[in-house]
């Protein structure tokens, strides 16, 4: 795994040196837009509709639209004056019960692994959290933005979940028809509870498969096998960041859709 961040977890007077790794990755199949006539990948340019010309990055400033078509310009100096410096610590501020946090607050998940010098402190914090049944609420700075997060223990690993700030979570009062008093009969409720109990089971993530993605991959493979491919005209300028090795993407995707036993073995080997 690629190390995304290095620093430490601040736990009272104890600092736990750690490395951060992304716990998840997107497996969406990315399709590019091509010109139907010549099959050249479409490029998008920064164009000013007033001046009717392409604009270079050097000519672009950032602004906040506080009213329709009215902006406050924020310069690089303005933004630098309020920007949080990159933090090297994850500062624990509280310990709470996991059940107290509504899942709507969870954003992204990261694994925290100890540096060699911090293995004992890491184990101490993790075991203490398990024994007390608590998770930690912490603050840190990621990508120059102050970030709220929680730390929890799972499978001998500390996991950090970034959290949305309270004012980023919309109130349910904005939703229609939610707070209307709707009568439900005892018989209807009993039948609904019976259905839930019949479908009750343990969560097994291997059971759930993205059928649409698998079908799309199968369709792509069939077209490649039948030579239903097209070549973009040579000599076209193509941004390097948009170049996608389709075969590599397919191979990696196929690996991820192998039987559960194979995936588990690969996960253990890379841990």
Q: What percent of the chain has pLDDT over 70?
A: 85
Angle subtended at Cα 144 by Cα 138 and Cα 150, rounded to the nearest 5 degrees: 15
Full residue range of the structural domain in which residue 136 is found: 5-26+82-167
163 close to 106: Cβ distance less than 8 angstroms: yes
The pLDDT score that the predictor gives to residue 262 is 46
137 close to 93: Cβ distance less than 8 angstroms: yes
Examine the fold and report which residue of 115, 137, 167 is the final residue of a domain before the chain moves on: 167
What confidence category does residue 21 fall into, taking pLDDT thresholds of 50, 70 and 90?
A: very high
Q: Whole-model pTM?
A: 0.69
**Range with lowest mean pLDDT among 124-138, 191-205, 256-270:** 256-270
The structural domain count of the chain equals: 2
What confidence category does residue 269 fall into, taking pLDDT thresholds of 50, 70 and 90?
A: very low
The pLDDT score that the predictor gives to residue 15 is 87
Question: What's the CA gap between 161 and 164, in Å, rounded?
Answer: 10
Token pair for residue 262? Answer: 């194979």
What confidence category does residue 151 fall into, taking pLDDT thresholds of 50, 70 and 90?
A: very high
145 close to 131: Cβ distance less than 8 angstroms: no
Mean confidence (pLDDT) of the chain:
83
Q: What percent of the chain has pLDDT over 90?
A: 38
Examine the fold and report which residue of 116, 141, 167 is the final residue of a domain before the chain moves on: 167
Examine the fold and report which residue of 134, 167, 200 is the final residue of a domain before the chain moves on: 167
Q: Is the pLDDT of residue 219 over 50?
A: yes
Shared domain for 150 and 93, answered yes or no, is yes
Shared domain for 249 and 142, answered yes or no, is no
Residue 194: inside a domain: no
The pLDDT score that the predictor gives to residue 160 is 96
What confidence category does residue 264 fall into, taking pLDDT thresholds of 50, 70 and 90?
A: very low
Q: Is the pLDDT of residue 144 over 80?
A: no
């Amino acid at each position: 795994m690629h190390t995304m961040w290095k620093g430490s977890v601040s736990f009272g007077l104890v600092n736990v040196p750690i490395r951060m790794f992304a716990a998840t990755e997107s497996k969406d199949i990315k399709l590019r837009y091509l010109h139907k006539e010549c099959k050249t990948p479409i490029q998008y340019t920064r164009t000013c509709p007033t001046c009717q010309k392409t604009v270079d990055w050097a000519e672009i400033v950032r602004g906040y639209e506080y009213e329709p078509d009215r902006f406050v310009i924020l310069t690089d100096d303005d933004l630098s004056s309020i920007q949080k410096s990159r933090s090297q610590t994850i500062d624990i501020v509280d310990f709470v019960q996991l059940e107290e946090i509504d899942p709507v607050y969870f954003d992204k998940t990261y694994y925290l692994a100890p540096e060699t010098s911090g293995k004992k402190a890491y184990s101490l914090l993790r075991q203490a959290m398990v024994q007390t049944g608590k998770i930690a609420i912490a603050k840190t700075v990621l990508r120059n933005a102050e970030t709220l997060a929680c730390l929890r223990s799972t499978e001998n690993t500390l996991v950090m979940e970034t959290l949305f700030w309270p004012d980023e979570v919309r109130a349910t009062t904005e939703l229609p028809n939610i707070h209307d008093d709707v009568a439900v009969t005892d018989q209807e409720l009993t039948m609904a509870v019976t259905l839930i109990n019949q479908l009750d089971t343990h969560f097994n993530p291997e059971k759930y498969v993205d059928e649409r993605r698998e079908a799309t991959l199968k369709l792509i493979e069939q077209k490649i096998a039948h030579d239903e491919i097209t070549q973009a005209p040579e000599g076209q300028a193509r941004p390097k960041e948009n170049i996608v090795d389709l075969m590599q993407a397919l191979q990696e995707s196929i690996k991820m859709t192998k039987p559960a036993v194979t995936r588990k073995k690969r996960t253990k080997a890379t841990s």
